[in-house]
Amino acid sequence: MEALPLLFFLAILISLLFGYPVSFTLGGVSIIVGLIIFGTEYFNLLPLRIWGIMSNYILLAVPLFIFMGVMLEKSGIAEELLETMALLFGKLKGGLAISVLVVGAMLGASTGIVGATVVTMGVLSLPVMLKRGYEEKSATGIILASGTLGQIIPPSIILVLLGSVLNIPVGDLFIAAVIPGLLLVLLFFIWIVVQTKLKPKALPAMPDAELKKFIGKEKYKRIINAFILPFILVVTVLGSIFAGVASPTEAAAIGALGASILTIIKRRFNLPTLKAVMLKTTTITSMVFMILVGAAAFGLVFRGLHGDRYLADLILTANFEPYQFLILAMLVIFICGFFIDFIEITFIVVPVIAPIFHSFEMNILWLGILIAMNLQTSFLTPPFGFSIFYLKGVAPKEITTTQLYKGVIPYVVIQLLALLLIATIPMLTLWLPEFLGG
């Protein structure tokens, strides 16, 4: 009987590895197991769980942030940012790579949608980087890594979902993620500089003929036009949260409205655009919430089988120290990231390990950022790194999957280094929330 929770958990994971849709796997296997073990009484409890998800005010931020990101994708802001940054840093070796990093960070702070960011930067910057003589793996590596920054730099959908699962305020998670997000950007920047020293020909500067077009008043006008609008949006959304003026859900609504206004200013707003944005938002949101419903069914059965108690007893009898268990949990999440999506990990693995961390009386806010940083690597780790698939879909035919894997490995190592720094220096996460709270 004690092995039932473990067998149930393994059945879910194996079904996912066979490629079955996540939401239907979670929900379908859970309902079948629930019926076999608990009978029809199981269905008396499940609707209450689903209603709890549908009426969760915090989760309303998910479709709003998705709408904001998709609308910004249609506004052309990303394109302007990339072009301007490329010219601004063009004199430097690795200037194009630095520009991709800066734009990735800014898009992360204003959209938070990895797929949109990677595809946009892949379409706009990868052909230019290859034309300028960039090494394939260096060019693709920085695009892939920069595209994932939206998962740790707030506002982030991962942080919204983790806040719901870990039962901690999303606003606190947003504040706590600022310094770790900037730390990751700094580490990526250092790696670009190191590459320019080790392999100068792999990341060349832009030709002088192109840079001469970007001088005088025109230069400053383009910089201001490219920066000012997304900067205002980021300050409005995050500033309203950090100042305590708006909740994350209210700030998401402000962001959705702001993105629409920016698209109007750019003269890209029309009925077909609005229809496309709403359709994509509905599709992504439906996928997320179907997984949430499946996760609710999974959680109900797992707790009904006393799986949470079984795991807690297993950890306690193994005499794990808190930090030993932390290392084990981070390793499990990292390995899961090779095979399954961050949403699946958030709703399958995190609810299982969270009660154990509570029993160890560890700081859950710090833990949430550690998990978010770890989940970010799932976009980059082969064989199923989603960012790799996104970029492969828009990359020139000469770019092979092997080159994408090689390009991304250094950035996975850097993310693990950042994870280690945050784990060993908790104040990197906790200082800003304490400072603003104090």
Query: Whole-angstrom Cα distance, residue 331 to residue 184?
Result: 20
Q: Which of 41, 42, 20 is nearest to 302 (CA)?
A: 42
In this prediction, residue 96 carries a pLDDT of: 81
Tokens of 425: 């220096």
Number of H helices, E strands in the chain: 22, 0
Q: What is the pTM assigned to this prediction? A: 0.78
Query: What is the rounded radius of gyration, in angstroms, for the C-alpha atoms of the chain?
Result: 22
In this prediction, residue 134 carries a pLDDT of: 83
Q: What is the pLDDT along the chain (438 residues), one digit of tens a residue?
A: 567 777 777 787 777 667 667 677 778 888 888 888 888 777 777 787 778 777 777 778 778 877 887 787 777 776 677 777 777 776 777 788 888 888 888 777 766 667 667 777 777 778 878 877 888 888 889 888 988 888 888 878 788 888 888 888 888 898 899 999 999 999 999 999 898 888 877 777 766 666 665 555 566 677 777 777 777 887 888 788 777 788 778 888 888 888 888 888 888 888 988 998 899 888 878 877 787 787 778 777 877 777 766 766 666 676 778 888 889 889 888 887 876 777 778 877 888 888 888 888 889 999 999 999 998 888 888 766 778 877 887 788 888 878 888 888 999 999 999 999 999 999 999 998 888 874
In this prediction, residue 421 carries a pLDDT of: 94
Contact in structure between 372 and 106 (CB atoms under 8 Å): no
In this prediction, residue 255 carries a pLDDT of: 84
Of the CA atoms within 13 Å of residue 356, those in its CB half-sphere come to 27
In this prediction, residue 346 carries a pLDDT of: 84
In this prediction, residue 419 carries a pLDDT of: 93
Alpha helices in 199-321 (DSSP H): 208-211, 216-242, 248-265, 271-304, 307-317
In this prediction, residue 383 carries a pLDDT of: 64
Largest Cα–Cα distance in the chain?
A: 76
